[in-house]
Amino acid sequence: MSDKLAAEPSPSVPIIIRENIDSLSASFSDQVEMLAGELRSRWKSGKRVVVEQLGPPFELVAKNEEQLLDLIYHEVLLREEFGEKPKLEDFTARFP
């Protein structure tokens, strides 16, 4: 079975439920992008914050493992961009 077919919702799922699932997924993606932008903005202004310091929006995203990993990845990329060498153990200590 191809990945495309596996990712498509079952036709037996009512359209309203499929639309709500799609909307929720987009909402999480939008939230991650907003938080990643906020993180980048703070870093550019000299404030070296970690994702956990982004407040309540972070707490919402943190409930979804995939979205949390995406946001952490943004932090890793920023650290590298600003000359740091992020270490795995720093992140595993923060996110056990």
Residue 11 has pLDDT above 80, yes or no: no
Domain span at 80: 13-94
DSSP 52: G
- Tell me the C-alpha distance between 64 and 52, whole Å: 14
Domain-located, residue 55: yes
Q: Is 5 contained in some domain?
A: no
pLDDT exceeds cutoff 80 at 19: no
Chain center to CA of 45: 22
Q: Is residue 70 part of a domain?
A: yes
Per-residue pLDDT for 93 more than 50? yes
Could you tell me which of 69, 64, 25, 65 has the C-alpha nearest to residue 51? 69
AA identity, residue 74? H
Identify the pLDDT of residue 78. 96
Q: Is 36 domain-assigned? A: yes
Q: Is residue 8 part of a domain?
A: no
Q: Is residue 69 part of a domain?
A: yes
The verdict on residue 30 lying in a domain is yes
Return the pLDDT at 15: 54
**Domain count across the chain:** 1
Q: What's the pLDDT band for 6 if we cut at 50, 70, 90?
A: very low
66 part of a folded domain: yes
26-77 pLDDT per residue, tens: 576 788 899 999 999 999 999 999 999 998 888 888 888 999 999 999 999 9
